[in-house]
Chain A
Amino acid sequence: MCAMLGSERARAALLRREPDRVPVFELLVDRHIIAQVVSSGDYGDFAEAVGFDLVLTDTPSRLYRETPVDPARGLYRNEWGVVRQYGAQIVSMPKEGPIKRPEDLDRYAPPSPDDPMRYEELGRLLARFKGRTLVGIHLHDVFNYPYYLRGMQQLFLDMYDRPEIVHRLVRISVDHDLAIARRAVRMGADFVLLGDDFGAGSGPLVSPAHFREFFLDGFREIVQGIKDTGAFVVKHCCGNITSLLPMLVDAGIDALHPLDAAAGMDIAAVKRDYGDRICVIGGIDCGDPLSNWPVDRLERLVEETVARLAPGGGWILSSSNTLHRSVKVENYLAMVRTARKWRYPAAA
């Protein structure tokens, strides 16, 4: 078999077929990591250098303009009216939302999904990578905007005190993100990554019953809306979401990332139990192994992981979350290099 294009390789994995070798993807790469690999500091150059088979726009917060609130403290307000704080982490953190009282929601208008800014980075990635890799846009889905707008604790209290507010906030999020997703696919995006985090260390943030009551219908709507365009849906969700898996898979997602072992997720078990319906993305712990282990020990881990997850296809290699600042570049490059030595039977 001739070597596949990255787009072919990634598409095969998402369709749960065997490609020629293990495809490679990352959700987010810290700019310090990028700068150690490519002097330009450009994500596209990094993706090219490493040979990503799927490329993805930056975190959704980058789709919106920000105005300074207190730059010395890293505080900026975006078009949603959410104040975000920049710090050491890859992504800024939401600090305060505009829906402080229920009546604020009556007067609230979300930003337009049609603003050209939402599509600038996607356009650049499509111009460079379309056809060679799969190109995706990173969006929110049903949970993050509601809690950004209202505050997470207040949103959870609203679930008891004012459930209609939660439903209205989910509706705002679904309408906005589905509109962007549809336009992104018309531009040429191959996949949409839905990035909201419902999971905590030992289980989901909300009970399966609350997820079903408040978030599932909206999630199904956005997934099916994207699927109707012909694009793939990749769902990212940190934390332990084992109890939500049946609902997420039934909603129609094509792939699930990152299935982090540190949160108690077993990527091999998820592949075993759901691999006839979804592709799994993940595999190598971005904590100690990618940050601190000697290269040879890391390489052995990668070989074991590939032997466990690759057979049968339906797996895309990534770190267990993101390439954060503490990741050793030599370890990450060794991870990719080692995984690429493995060939699927038809390609061997």
Chain B
Amino acid sequence: MAQLQALADAIISGNRVKSAELATTMLKEGVAAKKILDEGLIPGMAVVGEKFKNCEFYVPEVLVAARAMSAAMDKLRPELVAAKVEPVGKVAIGTVRGDLHDIGKNLVAMMLEGAGFEIIDLGVDCAPESFVNAVKSKGANLIALSALLTTTMPAMQDTIEALEAAGLREKAKVIIGGAPVTQKFADQIGADGYAPDAASGVDIAKQVLGL
């Protein structure tokens, strides 16, 4: 459908006015909100993610694309709620305790939202308990941990141990990322997945959830 491709293109080019207009027009024409999401928004953000991985897009391009996506989602959200459309997953994402960096975490959150996940953004300097609460009280089934310092990486292990101590480890998969983080470290601490960069976060999230 040409309008769905036009919506994807508007997302890719970061045109939030056009993305919102197209979403509104299609809804008025009776196109289901889920169809617009699945065949317009998500493919558009998938292209953004690929371009980011390939260094064709950089942080500013991803931000304007995410803004265009958000403008369209604002139009779709009431319809999605009314139709009881479930997100593909619910992610609690945050930078771990002692770490104040957020740009990487924010990019991953945007990419995951663009892939159909519901985001619970816990912010920065997040104690392990905040992730535990996100699973217990908000139903998160994926925890995404970010650390940009070698000195704060141990808090990732603390978070996994906190989930185990709360009896919630089986309720949520844990993926980790950040500049000093490695696959070896992820394996050592028992994380379910490791994303080497923000663009890979969506692939890893889907992989660990079996999507």
Within 8 Å of chain B (Cβ to Cβ): is A85?
Answer: yes
A-B contact count (CB 8 A): 73
**Contacting pair A88 B152 (CB below 8 A):** yes
Whole-angstrom CA separation of A55 from B101 in the bound complex? 28
Within 8 Å of chain A (Cβ to Cβ): is B59?
Answer: yes
The smallest beta-carbon distance between A110 and chain B, in angstroms, is: 24
**Contacting pair A206 B58 (CB below 8 A):** yes
The stretch that binds B, out of A128-136, A154-162, A177-185, is: A154-162
**Contacting pair B180 A159 (CB below 8 A):** no
The smallest beta-carbon distance between B5 and chain A, in angstroms, is: 23
Of A87, A200, A325, which contacts B59 at CB under 8 A? A200
The stretch that binds A, out of B21-29, B61-69, B131-139, is: B61-69
Within 8 Å of chain A (Cβ to Cβ): is B125?
Answer: yes
Of B55, B57, B101, which contacts A93 at CB under 8 A? B101
* A-side contacts of B180, CB under 8 Å: 262, 287
Beta-carbon contacts of A298-340 to B below 8 Å, as 1s and 0s?
0000000000000000000000000011100000000000000
Beyond A85-B100, A160-B64, is A324–B58 a contact (Cβ under 8 Å)?
no
Q: Which of B60-106 contact A (CB under 8 A)?
A: 60-61, 63-64, 67, 98-101, 103-104, 106
Chain B residues within 8 Å of chain A by Cβ, number: 27
**Contacting pair B59 A156 (CB below 8 A):** yes
Within 8 Å of chain A (Cβ to Cβ): is B166?
Answer: no
Within 8 Å of chain A (Cβ to Cβ): is B209?
Answer: no
Q: How large is the interface on A (under 10, 10 to 19, 20 to 34, 35 or more residues)?
A: 20 to 34
**Contacting pair B197 A160 (CB below 8 A):** no
**Contacting pair B151 A324 (CB below 8 A):** yes
Of A95, A160, A202, A326, which contacts B55 at CB under 8 A? A202
Beyond contacts A87-B100, A202-B197: 11 other A-B pairs, Cβ-Cβ < 8 A, are A85-B100, A156-B60, A200-B104, A202-B55, A205-B58, A205-B103, A206-B59, A210-B58, A239-B179, A262-B180, A325-B151
Top 3 nearest A-B pairs by Cβ distance?
A93-B100, A156-B60, A88-B98
9 contacts between A and B (CB under 8 A): A88-B149, A89-B149, A153-B63, A157-B60, A201-B197, A286-B150, A287-B150, A287-B180, A326-B151
